[in-house]
Amino acid sequence: MGIIGDAFGKLFSVLWSAVSWLGKQIGKFFQSLFDLLINFFLFFYDLIAGLLYFLFKVGVLAVKLFQVLLAAGQMLWSFIVGLIRTMGQLVYNPIGQSPNNAYAPMIGQVMTQANSAFQLTSVAYILLFAIWISAAITAIKIISSIRVGGD
């Protein structure tokens, strides 16, 4: 080609390598700028996702706590109702002649005489209360020994 062709060839190759190097540097600059911008938004995305997950778990905890308190309230209410019913049934009060039980008045007379002679009322109170409390404690032990699988 000649001297001028070789000079333009070398000049073009130097210019092309300079433009190529400059293009790579601009590409690296924009890539690092995009990475910085993406990481900036990912940080806020992860922060919001973490806060929403935390709020979700607080809600789950609140629901579980409400369920536990509700179950404890139901158990306390059952205990009180059972105690009141037990105390109400400690005293035998025959209703009189009923078609289902012809011996009710007779049993009532026997219990009245036995109560006056042996004073069984206070013993019956103590024994029935002890039986009821032991049954309640046993029921609580059985319920607390049940393991429920879950989260």
Q: Note whether 30 and 3 are same-domain residues.
A: yes
pLDDT at 151 over 50: no
Rounded Cα–Cα distance for residues 60 and 57 (Å): 5
What three-state secondary structure class fits 96? coil
In a domain, 112, yes or no: yes
Q: Give the end of a domain, one of 53, 76, 99.
A: 76
* Structure confidence at residue 70 (pLDDT): 94
pLDDT tens-digit readout, 33-92: 999 999 999 999 999 999 999 999 999 999 999 999 999 999 989 888 887 877 776 665
Domains in the chain: how many in total? Answer: 2
How far apart are alpha carbons 92 and 121 in whole angstroms?
A: 10
Closest CA to 37 of 45, 48, 47, 25: 45
Q: Are 113 and 138 within one domain? A: yes
Does any domain span residue 149?
A: yes
The reply to whether 53 falls in a domain is yes
Domain assignment present for 143: yes
How far, in Å, CA of 43 to CA of 51, rounded? 12
pTM for the complete prediction?
Answer: 0.44
| Interatomic CA distance for residues 128 and 122, integer angstroms | 10
Would you say 108 and 92 are in contact if contact means Cβ atoms under 8 Å apart?
yes
Report if residue 85 sits inside a domain: no
Q: For the chain, what is the largest distance between any 2 Cα atoms, rounded to a whole number of angstroms? A: 144
Residues 146 and 119 in one domain: yes
Range of the domain at 45: 1-76
Q: Both 68 and 114 in a single domain?
A: no
- Rg (the chain; Cα; Å): 44
114 and 45 share one domain: no
Q: What is the pLDDT of residue 145?
A: 83
- The pLDDT, as a whole number, for residue 6 is 79
